[in-house]
């Protein structure tokens, strides 16, 4: 069997990390099994779906490296939904219901007040043809419910949660179509999964009850249901991650300088007991991917942990992969010199300014820096000028440790910390280094 997975976002907002995690795991499962990964745009909600969000979803998936083997849009499949709707209606699995939302809310309150579960009582099934005709003549348009088979248990072996079972008699017949004719999520999703040949679905645990009722929809269509895996939801500082709660979005992370490999590395393991291993390439993560290793406890997404993983990813990136993001003139030697001190690639520009720009003198240690300037003029700059300079200054002044190195670093870079000076000084070069030492030696001590 060819494994087919899908990612099915609604284009009603930007992707957040919870969405990305679901997309990642479906993509990894397909790639691990040599299968197909599909993108389905669930845009049946015409009032809230926007084309700019469709474009953003595609752009985010491209940035993350999630290549697709096909794409479908629900808005282009209306004829197919209508045909299945007619088939299920004629088979008695769909029926019209005429209660208003206010009436349903009142019934729920009454049931809850009596200590009973708020289950729909199927009152619409007791209506006669004359009753329905009278309601529609009065302008009442029905919504449509899928009739659950009370005698068929809703059970499956979840790839993460283990055995799952629901009693259909304890559940309301789900609404699948609104009174205005628009579709809710449940039925179109099943039709699409059947038509697209989806074999595995990885999604959040908030879909567990959806899966329970969808199993009977698959059966009603004479189709085998996919294997389902329901992941514990990610949590953040605001609780459950949701695009409606202002959670961290992919576009925001890109703007912060987060590498796609860092986000993939973290989300590939978040929710397991396995350590997060920063990997610049996805292949090792795909090879080790195992749904059975994911637990049922919520996993916390920590932006600080992501930043740490990102820094470790940046430290692995070769010059060729970042060259187009570096400032003009910065070469491979400069990248390799500053890379260990970077948290994001963008920070390389700050260190290039230190190497090739101007450094403001601080006027400290003037006598020592004057000696350093004279010594720097006498050393061989062709081979390891930093150690040649510091070794000679140590012998001449008796200084060592911080007293020896820190004034030189400050004069040459304007910073107290940074990349290894042995790598940095040749990049600064003899002329700039002498000018900076001379400038510091001549500068007046600040008040």
Q: How many domains does the chain have?
A: 4
Please check whether residue 193 lies inside any domain of the structure: yes
In this structure, of 58-62, 65-69, 94-98, 437-441, the range with the lowest mean pLDDT score is 437-441
Structural domain including 108 reads: 79-177
Q: Is the dihedral of CA 110, 112, 113, 115 positive or negative?
A: positive
Q: Residue 361: pLDDT band by 50, 70, 90 thresholds? A: confident
Q: Does position 362 have pLDDT exceeding 90, yes or no?
A: no
Model confidence at 446, in pLDDT bands (50, 70, 90)? low
291 located within any domain: no
CA angle (109, 112, 115) in 5-degree steps: 155
Q: Average pLDDT in the 295-306 region?
A: 92
Mean pLDDT of 146-158: 96
Specify whether 65 is located in the same domain as 192: yes
Q: Work out the pLDDT band at 320, boundaries 50, 70, 90.
A: very high
Q: What is the 8-class DSSP label of residue 156?
A: E
243 pLDDT more than 50: no
Of 161, 177, 193, the residue that ends a domain is 177
Domain at 129, CATH number? 3.90.800.10
Q: Are 54 and 39 in contact (CB under 8 A)?
A: no
Q: Give the pLDDT confidence of 1-14 residue by residue, as tens digits.
A: 899 999 999 999 99
85 with 30, same domain?
Answer: no
Same domain for 110 and 59, yes or no, is no
Q: Is the domain of 362 the same as that of 415?
A: yes
State the pLDDT at residue 247: 61
- For residue 206, the domain's CATH number is 3.40.50.620
The closest alpha carbon to 274, from 262, 291, 259, belongs to 291
Q: Do 193 and 325 sit in the same domain of this protein?
A: no
**pLDDT given at position 253:** 94
Helix%, strand%, coil% for the chain, nearest 5? 50, 15, 35
Tell whether 20 and 157 lie within a shared domain. Answer: no
pLDDT band at 443 (very low <50, low <70, confident <90, very high): confident
Q: Is residue 309 part of a domain?
A: no
Q: Which of 334, 354, 374 is the last residue of a domain?
A: 354
243 annotated as belonging to a binding site for a ligand: yes
The contacts found for 216-223 with CB under 8 angstroms, 24 or more apart, are 216/146, 216/148, 216/149, 216/152, 216/154, 216/168, 217/146, 217/186, 217/187, 217/190, 218/190, 218/193, 218/194, 219/152, 220/88, 220/91, 220/93, 220/146, 221/84, 221/88, 221/190, 221/191, 221/194, 223/194
Band (pLDDT 50/70/90 cuts) for residue 237 is low
The verdict on 156 and 85 lying in the same domain is yes
Q: Is residue 279 part of a domain?
A: no
pTM: 0.90
Question: pLDDT confidence of 269, banded at 50, 70, 90?
Answer: very high
How sure is the predictor about 241, in pLDDT bands with cuts at 50, 70 and 90? low
Tens digits of residue pLDDT in 119-144: 999 999 999 999 999 999 999 999 99
- Say which residue, 326 or 300, is predicted with more confidence: 326
3-state secondary structure 22-58: HHHHHHHHHHHCCCEEEEEECCCCCCCCCHHHHHHHH
272 falls within a domain: no
Question: pLDDT for 153-207, tens place per residue?
Answer: 899 999 999 999 999 999 999 999 999 999 999 999 999 999 999 999 999 999 9
C-alpha distances (whole Å) from 265 to each of 108, 297, 312 are 45, 20, 11
In this predicted structure, the answer to whether residue 242 has a pLDDT above a threshold of 60 is: no
CB proximity list for 229: less than 8 A, separation 6 or greater = 25, 158, 159, 160, 161, 200, 201, 202, 203, 291, 294
- Whether residues 60 and 137 fall in one domain: no
- The answer to whether residues 315 and 336 touch, using CB atoms and an 8 Å cutoff, is no
pLDDT at 244: 42
Mean pLDDT of 402-431: 96
CATH code for the domain of 399: 1.10.10.350
Do 83 and 53 have their domain in common? no
Q: Has residue 366 got a pLDDT over 70?
A: yes
250 found inside a domain: no
| Of the residues 130, 155, 177, the one at which a domain ends | 177
For residue 407, give the nearest of 355, 365, 359 by alpha carbon: 365
Same domain, 102 and 161: yes
Are residue 139 and residue 108 in the same domain, yes or no? yes
Looking at the structure, tell me whether residues 95 and 110 fall in a common domain: yes
Q: For residue 437, is pLDDT > 90?
A: yes
């Amino acid at each position: 069997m060819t494994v087919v997975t899908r990612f099915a976002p609604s284009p009603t907002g930007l992707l957040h990390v919870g969405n990305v995690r679901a997309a990642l795991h479906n993509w990894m499962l397909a790639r691990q099994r040599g299968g197909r990964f599909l993108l389905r745009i669930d845009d049946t909600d015409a009032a809230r779906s926007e084309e700019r969000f469709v474009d953003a979803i595609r752009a985010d998936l491209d940035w993350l490296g999630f290549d697709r083997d096909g794409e479908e849009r629900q808005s282009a499949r209306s004829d197919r939904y209508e045909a299945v709707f007619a088939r299920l209606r004629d088979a008695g699995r769909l029926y019209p219901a005429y209660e208003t939302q206010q009436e349903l809310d009142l019934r729920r309150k009454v049931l809850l007040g009596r200590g009973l579960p708020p289950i729909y009582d199927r009152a619409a099934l007791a209506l006669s043809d004359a009753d329905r005709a009278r309601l529609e003549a009065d302008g009442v348009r029905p919504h449509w419910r899928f009739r659950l088979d009370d005698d068929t248990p809703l059970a499956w072996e979840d790839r993460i949660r283990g055995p799952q079972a629901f009693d259909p008699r304890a559940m309301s017949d789900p609404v699948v179509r609104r009174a205005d004719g628009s579709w809710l999520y449940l039925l179109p999703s099943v039709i699409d999964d059947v038509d697209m040949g989806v074999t595995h679905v990885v999604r959040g645990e908030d879909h567990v009850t959806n899966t329970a009722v969808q199993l009977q929809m698959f059966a009603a269509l004479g189709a085998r249901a996919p294997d389902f895996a329901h992941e514990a939801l990610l949590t953040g500082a605001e609780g459950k991650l949701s695009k409606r709660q202002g959670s961290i979005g992919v576009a925001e992370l890109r703007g912060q300088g987060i590498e796609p490999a860092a986000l993939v590395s973290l989300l590939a393991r978040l929710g397991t007991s396995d350590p997060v291993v920063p990997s610049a390439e996805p292949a090792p993560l795909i090879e080790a991917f195992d749904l059975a290793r994911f637990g049922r406890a919520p996993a916390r997404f920590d932006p600080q942990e992501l930043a740490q993983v990102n820094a470790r990813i940046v430290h692995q990136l070769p010059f060729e992969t970042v060259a187009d993001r570096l400032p003009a003139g910065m070469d491979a030697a400069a990248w390799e010199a500053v890379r260990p001190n970077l948290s994001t690639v963008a920070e390389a520009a700050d260190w290039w300014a230190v190497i090739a720009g101007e450094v403001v003198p601080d006027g400290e240690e003037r006598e020592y820096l004057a000696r350093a300037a004279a010594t720097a003029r006498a050393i061989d700059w062709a081979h390891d000028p930093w150690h040649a300079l510091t070794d000679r200054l140590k012998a001449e002044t008796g200084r060592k440790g911080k007293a020896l190195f820190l004034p030189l670093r400050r004069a040459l870079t304007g910073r107290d910390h940074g990349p290894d000076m042995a790598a940095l000084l040749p990049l600064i070069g003899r002329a700039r280094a002498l000018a900076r030492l001379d400038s510091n030696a001549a500068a007046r001590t600040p008040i």
